[in-house]
Structure formats: C-alpha cells, structure tokens
Amino acid sequence: MPKILKEILIGFVPVLLIFLAFIGVNIIPVLLAGGLMAGLLIFAKMRGGIAVGASSDRKRKKGGPSMLTFDEIGGQDHPKEELMEALNFLIRHEEIQKYGIRPLKGILLTGPPGTGKTLLARAASHYTDSVFVAASGSEFVEMYVGVGAGRVRDLFRDARTRAQKENKQSAIIFIDEIDVIGGKREGGQQREYDQTLNQLLTEMDGIYNSDSPRILLIAATNRKEMLDSALLRPGRFDRHIQVDLPEKKGRKHILDIHAKNKPIHKDANMDKIAEESYGFSGAQLESVMNEAAIYMMREEKVEIEQRHMSMAIDKVMMGEKTDRESTQEEKKRVAIHELGHAIMAEIVRPESVSQVALTPRGQALGYVRHNPQEEQYLYTKEFLEEQIMIALGGAASEEIYYGGRSTGSSNDFEQALNIVQTMMKSGLTSLGIINIDMVTTEELMKVNNVILEQLMTRTRITLEQHRHIFDQSLEILLTEENLSGEQFRCLFRETSRLPA
C-alpha cells in the first residue's frame, strides 16, 4: 500500500469510528475485528522478521545477506583500503579494547551518484561476516511526528535481532541518502525530521564496543555539506571516505568486471573504451557494457565488438538516437552550430575532434564528440577560457551566419557558466580570491558577463578567420550527416592552406 494512503487511513479510521459512536452506532464488533486483524498482522510480521517501516521489495532485496566481495568492485583502491582498515577494528575488537581504542561507530561514504557506495557497504558486510541491514533516508520521512524516529529504532533493533538469529558477531546498518534525515537542523517547523535525527544520534551513542552483536553504521550521501554537524563530530561518523569518479585504470577495471559474463570479441580494446569513457561513473560503465550487448543482439552478432561499445558510450552520454525529423533549414543551422564547436576545438586543441554528427540523440539535434584527453586534475586559466570558447563556438557561428542565436545553445551556456563559476571560486577572475557567499549576485553577474562577452568576441573573431572551413565542410556534413575526426581534419588542413 502506498505510504501516503496508509497515513490517510490511519488518520481517517479513528475519526470515522468516533463519528459512528457519536451518532449511536455500535462500534464494538468493528473494534474487536480490527484488534484481531492487527494481532494477526503483528504475528505475521514477527515471524517474517521485523521489517523497517513498511516492508517493500526493495528493502527486502537490499537487506539480504551480502555475497559481494571487494574484488568485485572496480577501481576505488583508496576508498577500499580505508574502509578495510576501519573494518579491521570491528573484526579485531578484542585487540582494540586492550589498547583502549574506542570502536568506530559510523563510516560516511561521500561522492557522486553511481560510484559504488552501496557496493562498498555490501562488501563491508561480507568482509566482516556481518548481517547487512539497509535502508534509505527517504524511508524515514513521514507526515506524523515520531514515526521516523520509531523506524530508526526498529532499524537498529532489526539489525541486532537478525545478527542474534543468524549467530553473527556483528551487524552493519547501511543508510543511503543520509542527508534526507541528517540535514542541518535550523529550528524551523521540522519537528519530525529533528526527532528522526535525534533518535539516530541516540542510537549511535548507544553503540558500545562490548556490545554483542557489535553494530557499525555506514551511511552514504552525495551532499556531505548538507549534514548536521552533530552527525559529523568525532564519536559519531568517525571516518569519512570520499568515493570519487574512477580514473582510467579504475574504469578499465570496472569495464572488465561487467564484461566477465559477456562474450567480448578478441580484438576489442578495453583500454580504448576506458579512455573514451572519461568522466563516467561505475553505474554508467555498467550501462555501457549492457547497452553494447544489446547492440550486439540487435545486429544478430554473437560477440561484442569495439564499435558496439563505442556506440554504447554515445548512448549513455547523449541518449538514444531519435527519429525526430528536422526541416532542411533547421538541419543547416544545427550543422553550422556543430561546425562552430568542432572548428574552435580543433584550433585550441589540435587533433581533439573525433566526430561531428547531425544525428538527433536524446535532446540534442547534433553533437561533436571529442577524443579523450589526458586526465588532468589542475587547470590553468587559459585552459578554462579555451574550454569556454569551445562551448560558445556553436552560438558564435550561428551569430556569424544568421545574425542571431537560437535555443540550441542552452546546454553550451550552462557548461560555460559552470566553468566561469569554477574560475571565480579558484580566484582566477578580476574578483580576486573570494568566498562566493561574500559577493553580491550583482557583482557576480557583472564579472560573469564581462568574461563571457570577451570570450564570445574572441570566439567570433577566431571563427570569422576560419570561415572558409565552414564553407568547405558544410555541404559535406549536410549530405553525409556525419564526419569522422580524420575527415574533418583533412578538410581543416586543406582549407587552412587556402588563402583566407
């Protein structure tokens, strides 16, 4: 039964009964029948183990015994190491007691979605031979004060009961999306949230090393900055482990893990796929392998080839090809827009374009694919400005050819704005070294506009100087609907030799 319906019923039934009693209806048989049903329900619940709140399939699946090991998690070497070290405290509890070390009560995993935080928690329960009980922060959110707190109590009780029943020495409780209940308390009308968080803090304070079974709480969030400081203080979540997007070696490892149960062609180069999937999370990489197998089946092949995986990367990055039919005029505008990006990219980063396509995908009517660049963790101001100029290339070329822009640049502008924000936070703008919260929106807007206007002018001037490349490539792109990086570079080189 949906949660909201259940809550309405809980509120409605007593009111109905009082009303019936008030108008003289005998409600005793109804009360007896209700009591009997409630008794039966409680009995059934106890036999099936106490579930946290309403029992859903998702919860039961997540709460099952975990067979997942750390070897089945790709990349993430550092988080795995840190987590294992923390888990050794749980395993070697007698030793740490001897040295007077207090046990770890909570481990907080933070990082972007799909990077394997849930997997790490499940592997932790396997590593420590613990019972695994999982819940998500949103499951504790209720309309009625006290319900969420009750569920937190049930969760801890459930973990202890299950560990005793299964004869385990320890239990790991995993709470995903902890920010939903663990957000900063601001003293507003959030009594229910506060009570839930208070109950969680109380339960954490009640974890002792001498307890049997021993309890370890692992929580995950994408928004650590939202958490209440009471949760983050020592003695609560003692260890914070950052789970980042995987680097190339990690991506290759994850791809290999998800390729294990699939037929891969012997010539397929997984290194190349790992390189092309820069910025992908583990979940996206899993999806790449899955989509590649679907492409293979569609073509009635028996092995996944390199191109199936490349096609899958495009799909995961930009969505499935769509059948959207655009008019000839629209197609020309898209071609000019995409050529603007491609020419600008080839000027500032030679050899970087891998494909220019007019095929509609997801929300885009066309796209430019870039060759993977070497992974970088530090960016100079010049590099970031060039990135903005590549993003503005589409709108600038529409201005050159049509005298104005279209709605097709909104994603490009979003990208450019994000880069400007990074520049501001890193002290690379005329604002100097700032905390963004200390500067007024007007000031930020002013600097933002100056940067983008200047870069837009530079982009337009550069593209004007290369107008002959547009003239040369436009017809070919409109006919073929696709230019490979090599084809595009040939045109680029040929036309660059022509007098401008």
Which residues contact ligand ATP (rule: CB under 6 A)?
A: 73-76, 113-119, 176, 220, 222, 254, 257, 282-283, 286
Shorter beta-carbon distance to ligand ATP: residue 249 or 446: 249
Q: Cβ 282 to ligand ATP, closest distance in Å?
A: 2
Cβ pair 292, 304 in contact under 8 A: yes
CA distances to 226, 229, 238 from 185, rounded to whole Å, are: 10, 9, 20
274 vs 365, beta carbon nearer ligand ATP:
274
Q: Which two tokens stand for residue 158?
A: 């459930």
In this structure, what token pair is assigned to residue 495? 């036309």
CA distance linking residue 213 with residue 229, whole number of Å: 28
Q: Least Å distance between CB 460 and ligand ATP?
A: 41
State the residue number with the nearest CB to ligand ATP: 282
Question: Which residue lies nearer to ligand ATP by CB, 116 or 340?
Answer: 116
Within 233-356, residue ranges assigned H as helices are 248-259, 270-276, 282-298, 306-318, 328-348
Q: What is the dihedral of CA 436, 437, 438, 443, to 10 degrees?
A: 60
In the annotation, is 94 catalytic?
A: no
Give the nearer residue to ligand ATP in terms of CB position, either 286 or 386.
286
How far is it, in rounded angstroms, from Cα 432 to Cα 126? 50
Nearest distance from C-beta of residue 69 to ligand ATP, angstroms:
12
CB of 316 to ligand ATP, least distance (A): 12
| Pairwise CA distance, residues 485 & 352, whole Å | 8
- 254 within 8 A of 246, measured Cβ to Cβ: yes
Query: What kind and span of H or E run contains 231?
Result: helix 229-232
Compute the distance between CA of residue 223 and CA of residue 245 in angstroms, rounded to an integer: 15
Output the CA–CA distances (angstroms, integers) from residue 499 to 85, 350, 401, 465, 495, in the order listed.
65, 20, 20, 11, 8
Q: Nearer to ligand ATP by C-beta: 259 or 348?
A: 259
Of 363, 254, 282, nearest to 319 by C-alpha is 363
Least Å distance, CB 118 to ligand ATP, is: 4
CA proximity to 256, closest of 97, 73, 439, 40: 73
Contact 136, 177 (CB under 8 A): yes
Closer CB to ligand ATP, residue 178 or residue 207? 178
* Dist. CA 187–CA 194, nearest whole Å: 9
Q: Smallest distance, Å, CB 256 to ligand ATP? A: 10
CA 24 to chain centroid, in Å, comes to: 58
The CA dihedral of 92, 94, 99, 101, to the nearest 10 degrees, is: 70
Q: How far is the CB of 73 from ligand ATP (least distance, A)?
A: 5
The torsion angles phi and psi of 182, rounded to 5 degrees, stand at: -105, 20
Smallest gap from residue 265 Cβ to ligand ATP (A): 22
Q: Name which of 117 and 361 has its Cβ closer to ligand ATP.
A: 117
For the bound state, the minimum distance from the C-beta of residue 281 to ligand ATP, rounded and expressed in Å, comes to: 6
Q: Which is nearer to ligand ATP, 164 or 290 (CB)?
A: 290
Q: Sort 479 into a burial class: Cβ within 10 Å, 0-12 / 13-18 / 19+.
A: exposed
- 108 contacts 237 by C-beta, under 8 angstroms: yes
Task: Indicate which residue of 203, 338, 346, 398 is catalytic.
Answer: 338
**Residue closer to ligand ATP (CB basis): 156 or 174:** 174
Catalytic residues: 338
